[in-house]
Amino acid sequence: MTDTDLTTDDSARNIDAGRGPGRRLHGAIAHRLGTDILSGKYAPGDILSGEVAFAEELNVSRSAYREAIQVLTAKGLVASRPKAGTRVLPRDRWNLLDPEVLGWAFTGEPDKEFVRNLFELRAIVEPAAARLAAQRRDKADLREMKTALTAMRQHTLTTEAGRAADRDFHKAILQATRNDALLVLSASIGAAVNWTTVFKQRARALPRNPIPDHVRVYDAIVAGDPGAAAEAMNVLVDLALEDMRGSMPD
Amino acid sequence: MTDTDLTTDDSARNIDAGRGPGRRLHGAIAHRLGTDILSGKYAPGDILSGEVAFAEELNVSRSAYREAIQVLTAKGLVASRPKAGTRVLPRDRWNLLDPEVLGWAFTGEPDKEFVRNLFELRAIVEPAAARLAAQRRDKADLREMKTALTAMRQHTLTTEAGRAADRDFHKAILQATRNDALLVLSASIGAAVNWTTVFKQRARALPRNPIPDHVRVYDAIVAGDPGAAAEAMNVLVDLALEDMRGSMPD
DNA sequence: ACAGGAAATATGTCGGAGTAAATAGGAGAC
DNA sequence: GTCTCCTATTTACTCCGACATATTTCCTGT
């Protein structure tokens, strides 16, 4: 409704501005609307302008706009009813753990409270996952963890390759739990971890060497010691949380 | 509800068969395709017939079919590329914690392994949530829990009202954690819990009175004792898991 | 045998027309 | 004057047919 700017220039109001290479048009629209909702530009309860009006405003066809709306509907962000229009759903209906939604939440300055909540979830899930991994891991799992650790040593967390290695390490642990439900959380937690390292790196150059913490977790899992693995992971998450707190204003 | 037949009769192959009252056409198509994928009728890597062919087969327009595909794409079940077609993604890309996907997974006979995994996740998250709830709950939270408990006593778990009260109780706990990320897991876990009680009820009449377990959790949260709350919830989940094991073939 | 380009094919995008549903507003009864 | 019921409008929903675009396939030429 507010339509912050979208300058009067024709090219600027083109949705293609936010369109990546492999991303389709309706995907770009969903991204745009998704970020607008997550950023609070459209608040829960707000009603989006009608299909025809909004599609015209974005210079896209109604089909493309509608397909984007279906995506947002599938993620629990909006709901449409004839005559009533398309309205933004209350926040507790949003699939906040959906990887794409999570990505939208992290464009721009993410909500501090939400980041804190994600870390809390991580502090609950990851130590438990490490405990299970210590019980169930096989040689292939350990090999993947070792590979990721080596990669982390080579490229520091300041590089994308290093952050990818970090994600791989945690993902390898979750895979070792033999639990699909835990694994899908990997995408969410991985995104949070990734954003955190980016943020951390932005604040200070490199506050602390993360390798020893990871090695302790790895060693405990190799030894097959569930308690030690959980405790080591607990320490790792705590330290990461501490680092984040240190680099965040609040 | 399962609609497994789809005989050769023309009217039977009409998609409207699986269409609920408030559900739109594209929603019905998504439901149909979603259940087919979750049930394994379409395996990861399979390529769906072309849009025109499939839409014609379902007696729907291409637009409606495409909107359904966008929904499935948003949930990570499929991906489409020009010329290549629409293919089912590998299972680790599926958003298994999406409430709708979870519902699709539970139409027909759900996968035993997956149910076990969900219980494992529940056993990790809920005690931790109870611990946080004991620290952060306010009077309004306690009131909601008490209301849910009273409702549980009135209608047993054999009724839908009773199951709703059970979900409300757990949801109230998650709300008391003041953590949105934990709360969205409520939808997933709640669905699992609900299905479990349905299944349990199917096997035996009513194996055990669930009220005392819930009361113990409630009392600990009222007392503000995090450790006791976590332990009580741990017992509750263990008993539920035991009940499920007893009523499941494997 | 290999490289480059043309054609084929499926998804992507578009604009419009007609249908169904839900709310708002008005007509009528009490 | 209030309430109920009906109608009327608004809006999303569905369908259609066409064109655009992106890949793959395959054919041609070297």
Average pLDDT, chain A: 86
pLDDT of residue A206: 55
The answer to whether the CB of B218 falls within 8 A of the CB of B146 is: yes
Does the A15-93 domain belong in CATH 1.10.3720.10? Answer: no
Q: Average of pLDDT values for B135-164? A: 92
CATH code, B15-92? 1.10.10.10
In whole angstroms, what is the distance from residue A227 CA to residue A108 CA? 39
Residue A217 CA from chain centroid, whole number: 23
pLDDT of residue B62: 95
pLDDT of residue A204: 55
Q: Average of pLDDT values for B126-144? A: 97
Q: How buried is residue B215: exposed, middle or buried, by Cβ count under 10 Å (0-12/13-18/19+)?
A: middle
pLDDT of B167 over the 80 cut: yes
pLDDT of residue B51: 94
Topology agreement, domain B15-92 and domain B109-247: no
Q: What are φ and ψ of residue B48, in 5° steps?
A: -75, 150
Note the pLDDT tens digit of each residue in B59-68. 999 999 999 9
In whole angstroms, what is the distance from residue B169 CA to residue B154 CA? 14
pLDDT of residue A247: 67
Inter-chain CB proximity B180 and A114 less than 8 Å: yes
Q: Which helix (H) or strand (E) holds A78?
A: strand A78-81
Show which residues on chain A lie within 8 Å of chain B, measured between beta carbons.
26, 30, 63, 66-68, 70-71, 73-76, 91-92, 94-100, 114, 117-118, 120-121, 124-125, 128, 132, 179-185, 188
pLDDT of residue A197: 65
Closest residue by Cα to residue B55 from B43, B42, B68, B36: B68
Q: How buried is residue B196: exposed, middle or buried, by Cβ count under 10 Å (0-12/13-18/19+)?
A: buried
A221: its two tokens: 């899992």
pLDDT of residue B115: 87
pLDDT of residue A210: 86
Torsion angle of C-alpha atoms B12, B16, B17, B20, degrees rounded to 10: 180
pLDDT of residue A198: 67
The answer to whether the CB of A187 falls within 8 A of the CB of B94 is: no
The amino acid sitting at B172 is A
Residue nearest to nucleotide D16 (CA to C1'): B61
The answer to whether the CB of A173 falls within 8 A of the CB of A145 is: yes
Higher pLDDT, B110 or B113: B113
Alpha-carbon gap: A64 to the closest alpha carbon of chain B (Å) = 10
Torsion angle of C-alpha atoms A151, A156, A159, A160, degrees rounded to 10: 40
Q: Average of pLDDT values for B225-237? A: 96
- Which SS3 state, helix, strand or coil, does residue B86 take? strand
Please give the average pLDDT of every successive group of 10 residues along chain A, which has 250 residues.
Answer: 36 61 87 95 94 94 96 97 94 93 87 89 95 97 97 86 89 95 81 67 65 96 97 93 72
pLDDT of residue B107: 84
- The domain spans of chain A are 15-93, 109-247
| Radius of gyration over every alpha carbon of chain A, rounded to an integer in angstroms | 21
| Nearest nt to the B53 alpha carbon by C1' | C10
List the single best residue of A26, A95, A136 to mutate versus B (max B Cβ within 10 A). A95
pLDDT of residue A21: 66
pLDDT of B12 over the 50 cut: no
Inter-chain CB proximity B97 and A184 less than 8 Å: yes
pLDDT of residue A111: 84
Q: Average of pLDDT values for B75-79? A: 97
CATH class of A109-247: mainly alpha
pLDDT of residue A87: 95
Closest residue by Cα to residue A147 from A133, A161, A135: A161
User: Could you tell me how many helices (H) and strands (E) chain A has, helices first?
Assistant: 10, 3
Q: Average of pLDDT values for B2-17? A: 45
pLDDT of B7 over the 60 cut: no
Partners of residue A29 in chain B, C-beta under 8 Å = none
Q: Average of pLDDT values for B159-167? A: 86
ipTM (interface predicted TM): 0.88
Q: Is the CB of B74 under 7 A from strand C?
A: no
